[in-house]
Amino acid sequence: MNLNPIVLSIPVFFLLIGIELVVERLSHRQLYRFPDAIANLSCGITSQVSGLFMRVLAVGVYEVLFHQFAFFSLDRTTWWYWLALFLLVDLAYYWAHRMSHEINLFWGGHVVHHQSEDYNLSVALRQSSFQVVWTFAFSLPLALLGFETTDFVLISAFNTLYQFWIHTETIGKLGWFEYLFNTPSHHRVHHGRNPKYIDKNHAGTLIIWDRLFGTFQEEEERPTYGITKPLNSWNAAWANVSHYQHMWTELRQIASAKDKVRYLFAKPGWLPTYLGGYRAAPEIEPHYQKYDTPAPVKISYYVLFQYVVCVGVTAFLLFQQNQFSLVEKAVAAALICWWVTNCGVLFEQKAWVVAAEWFRMAVMTLCAAGWLYTLEVPAVAYAAPAMYGLVSFFWFKRIT
């Protein structure tokens, strides 16, 4: 199987989230809210399944540049090759991440990661489906310098893996480690929407880049997490497109073509002076309340059931991706995105989600049966989609 370390680490992610939940229970702190955690995981799932297509493009461009235009032929057996690659990957990540905060168009591909108003390990998995479109070019100079594609992909994956553990409030400051490395304390600042914390601590692994380039901020008062204009939704699909919809609305209000272009590449919050000018991050409201949608417990249990099955199907797709055709992967990815979107919207109890969920159950059950038919499996194999369809049908019927 041609898998990256991130996919292989999925079981470890869930194990560590489970440990954090135990810590939450023992410490009597509210670190998790079920709808928020589901929304975080949903964005992570949509990011992974869309990544089956998006990351192929990014890695493909890197591969072409490396083989056709690399300036140097480097010896990958030396220690300095790997040290240089680690430092340059981390530096490229810093600038890609920083520009994702400072360029409006790029922010649309990163804002998803900041939408949660909680801060726990599930937030680490809350990723955008489109960020790679805006950020992959920052790493292309490494291809020109002669760092092999597989080595770059490996170190980039480990850079991402490092950042998982820093999404927690259960670990305080870490002494001397804070001076060199990104830590939970540093990254809590990054996720804060307090004006003093906005656009600070963009580091991946090493905090030295923020100290060097003037974007470092020490954690002082406890951050208020989220974005300055809260998403107020558990819908993973809406989470990925909401900023672009907002941009489209504002672009239509901007008169000149020059200002429209500037709006795309200016800092988030920028508008021409005739529309009010730049809107700085507001102070935290004195009686600020997190977005919440109290839903019946029976809906939570139904969503949990669907989610366990969905995670299993998604893991199967990711681990066996080379066994599927492009069309099969596209259909599976679309169905999974629909699945997790419904799971989130069920907590909001929108009127349309009932019909959408009935339709999804029928389509998914038929698609699973159809796929098994193409494999010419024994008849007993059809029991799995049939059982899923029946359980889902009768359970959902009881709660609606």
Domain end (from 167, 188, 213) = 213
CA distances from 264 to 114, 186, 188, 250 (A): 20, 29, 28, 10
Range of 305's domain?
A: 297-399
Residues 178, 307 within the same domain: no
- Cα angle for residues 206, 212, 215 (degrees, 5° grid): 85
For residues 349 and 357, give the distance between their C-alpha atoms in angstroms, rounded to a whole number. 12
Residues 190, 316 within the same domain: no
pLDDT digits (tens, 9 = 90+) for 243-274: 999 999 999 999 999 999 999 999 999 999 99
Give me the count of residues in the chain: 400
Is residue 115 domain-resident? yes
Q: Render the burial of 206-231: b for 16+ CB within 10 Å, e for the rest.
A: bbbbbeeeebbbebeeebbbbbebeb
pLDDT digits (tens, 9 = 90+) for 327-386: 999 999 999 999 999 999 999 999 999 999 999 999 999 999 999 998 888 989 999 999
3-class secondary structure, 305: helix
Please report the pLDDT score of residue 377 as a whole number: 87
Instruction: Answer yes or no: is pLDDT of 232 > 90.
Output: yes
Residues 171, 27 within the same domain: yes
Residues 40, 179 within the same domain: yes
pLDDT digits (tens, 9 = 90+) for 55-108: 888 899 999 999 999 999 999 999 999 999 999 999 999 999 999 999 999 999
Is residue 162 domain-resident? yes
Is residue 38 domain-resident? yes
What's the pLDDT band for 3 if we cut at 50, 70, 90?
A: low
Looking at the structure of the chain, the number of domains it has is 2
Please report the pLDDT score of residue 4 as a whole number: 65
> Please, what is the average pLDDT of the chain?
95
Please report the pLDDT score of residue 307 as a whole number: 95
Beta bridge partners of 181: 206
Instruction: Answer yes or no: is pLDDT of 2 > 60.
Output: no
Residues 36, 149 within the same domain: yes
Share of the chain above pLDDT 70, in %: 99
Is residue 47 domain-resident? yes
Burial class (CB in 10 A: 0-12, 13-18, 19+), 303: buried
Domain end (from 213, 232, 265) = 213
Is residue 371 domain-resident? yes
Is residue 264 domain-resident? no
Angle between helices 34-69 and 297-319 (to 10 degrees): 20
- The distance of Cα 40 from the centroid of its chain, to the nearest Å, equals 8
Is residue 233 domain-resident? no
Instruction: Answer yes or no: is pLDDT of 37 > 70.
Output: yes
Residues 190, 302 within the same domain: no
pLDDT digits (tens, 9 = 90+) for 282-314: 999 988 999 999 889 999 999 999 999 999 999
Residues 32, 177 within the same domain: yes
Is residue 270 domain-resident? no
Domain end (from 181, 196, 213) = 213
Residues 182, 302 within the same domain: no
3-class secondary structure, 73: coil
pLDDT digits (tens, 9 = 90+) for 141-184: 999 999 999 999 999 999 999 999 999 999 999 999 999 999 99
Residues 11, 158 within the same domain: yes
Share of the chain above pLDDT 90, in %: 90
Please report the pLDDT score of residue 1 as a whole number: 43
Nearest to 147 by CA among 200, 241, 81: 81
